Structure 1
């Protein structure tokens, strides 16, 4: 029962941490996207994130201290940055193209060929649900990684406890052995004691001591 309660509390704590981290990563992603959209022509986008320009778009009191987390989630759909600026292509297509005619007679393809339909844009609710699904997947992945690290930590602690316990057992055995050796030594000394020069009362005392051994 206690393990179940502890597990539930751990999941709630991790979920709460992920919500806070998720917001920070989303804000950093937006700042990075703005910086990339305004980058100078010919500049390497992969190195652009490391410049001070990104911090101008960050515009927050606290610094962004989760770059190691960003390296993990930046390839996820939720955090991917898709360039919105125009793409310049040389020696392939003209700068201006004539819109294609809707008439099937102007098409070089056969009239028997099926006409591909453009994908229907998804609604706001569907888009929101999709973002929520991606966020849940990212949270699950993050929680799974944390659980693995926690399990490894617990396993290491248990091994250390077993090692310490084994040392304590060996130490206790050694102390018991020394104690028994001291008792045997004392008994031997008692049995070998010379009582010829002692008083009758003292002789009687050591006689009783020897009898009890």
Structure 2
């Protein structure tokens, strides 16, 4: 039952202050909310980091593949250049042993060019 004084009083009642238990409960609920937000942010950043790392690895692999192709191209060019020099070597002023060496080198170049990775040849015409 309300007293007459409370109904007639011109002074407004202030709200009752929050008690210690209520404050503690409110603080703990905010803390758990903040903690969950914190963990969600960590998970999101971890996922982004993993994605960035994967893209970086893919880029590195692509660069390595391109580098390997370039090395193979340069290696083949060097072989081509060496073969050309071997085939155009002038042996007229060389000793018989040196001429024999360059003749064998030319034979190797011809074999390599004619029988590229085809396995052993059954023709023996290059040995004559």
- How far does the alpha carbon of each residue in 1:74-98 deviate from its partner, in whole angstroms, 9 at most, with x for none? xxxxxxxxxxxxxxxxxxxxxxxx5
* 1:167 corresponds to 2:63: yes
Q: Match for residue 73 of structure 2?
A: 177
Could you tell me which runs of 5 or more consecutive residues in structure 2 were left unpaired when the two chains were aligned: 9-17, 110-128
The total of aligned residue pairs comes to: 97
Q: Match for residue 32 of structure 2?
A: 136
- Partner residue of 1:150 out of 23, 46, 50: 46
Aligned equivalents of 1:209, 1:195: Cα separation in 2: 12
Which structure's relative contact order is higher, taking Cα pairs within 8 Å and 6+ residues apart?
1
Name the TM-score, length of structure 2 as normaliser: 0.60
Aligned equivalents of 1:123, 1:167: Cα separation in 2: 64
- Compute the displacement of 1:123 (Å): 8.7
Aligned equivalents of 1:144, 1:161: Cα separation in 2: 26
* 1:100 corresponds to 2:13: no
Larger Rg: 2
- How far does the alpha carbon of each residue in 1:7-44 deviate from its partner, in whole angstroms, 9 at most, with x for none? xxxxxxxxxxxxxxxxxxxxxxxxxxxxxxxxxxxxxx
What are the residue-to-residue correspondences of 1:39-78 with 2, within 5 Å?
none
- How far does the alpha carbon of each residue in 1:77-122 deviate from its partner, in whole angstroms, 9 at most, with x for none? xxxxxxxxxxxxxxxxxxxxx5139xxxxxxxxxxxxxxxxxxx99
Aligned equivalents of 1:177, 1:123: Cα separation in 2: 79
Aligned equivalents of 1:100, 1:146: Cα separation in 2: 55
Q: Match for residue 107 of structure 2?
A: 211
Aligned equivalents of 1:154, 1:190: Cα separation in 2: 53
- Compute the displacement of 1:155 (Å): 1.5
Q: CA RMSD in A?
A: 2.9
SS in 1 for 2:6: coil
